[in-house]
Amino acid sequence: MSDEFYPMPSFPTLSVRNLQASALWYREALGFQHVFSIPGPTGEPILVHLRWARYADLLLRQDPAPDPAAVKGAGITLTFNLIGGGSVDELAARARTHGSTLVSEPKNQPWNARDFRIADPDGFTLCFSQGPVDPGLGMEQIIARSTGKSNG
């Protein structure tokens, strides 16, 4: 999976303080796969391409002038959907075993999904989501349930 190349319709690029540490965290704590790295003039990577799943790629690039006090990604959340196995609860447990602190614990959401949020080493927020929790619910039922209005 990780060595397959294809045009990506969209992908985030995060500027990180410590590229190697961040790439390792994404692989170990969350299970991202390494696709490739691009070395800079010194031979050390300046960009790392990671993959969560097909069409869910993430690029990390070395911040050329990291500011330890900088707030990264304020107001932005990157969401990844678990498709084809595993659970958000298992992923959250894996992240905790690698020393990560969750921003929010796994819980069922009104939009018929179960998710949790975690901050990466640079403070970027990621959401891992799985659903539907109740496959029998249609969108009208989900909206009615979340607003407290009945359909009839």
Say whether both 4 and 49 belong to one domain. Answer: yes
CB 103 within 8 A of CB 118: yes
Residue 69 lies in a domain: no
Which tens digits make up the pLDDT trace of 43-95?
A: 999 999 999 998 999 999 998 877 777 778 888 899 999 987 889 999 999 99
Give yes or no: residues 83 and 148 share one domain: yes
Same domain, 95 and 47: no
Q: How far is CA 113 from the centre of its chain?
A: 15
State the total domains in the chain. 2
Same domain, 140 and 109: yes
CB under 8 A, 24+ apart: contacts of 93-98: 94/29, 94/30, 94/31, 95/29, 95/30, 98/25, 98/28, 98/29
Rounded to 10 deg, the angle between the 19-30 and 88-97 helix axes is: 130
pTM of this structure: 0.82
Average pLDDT over residues 103-124: 94
CATH number of the domain residue 105 falls in: 3.30.720.110
Binning pLDDT at 50, 70 and 90, where does residue 1 land?
A: very low
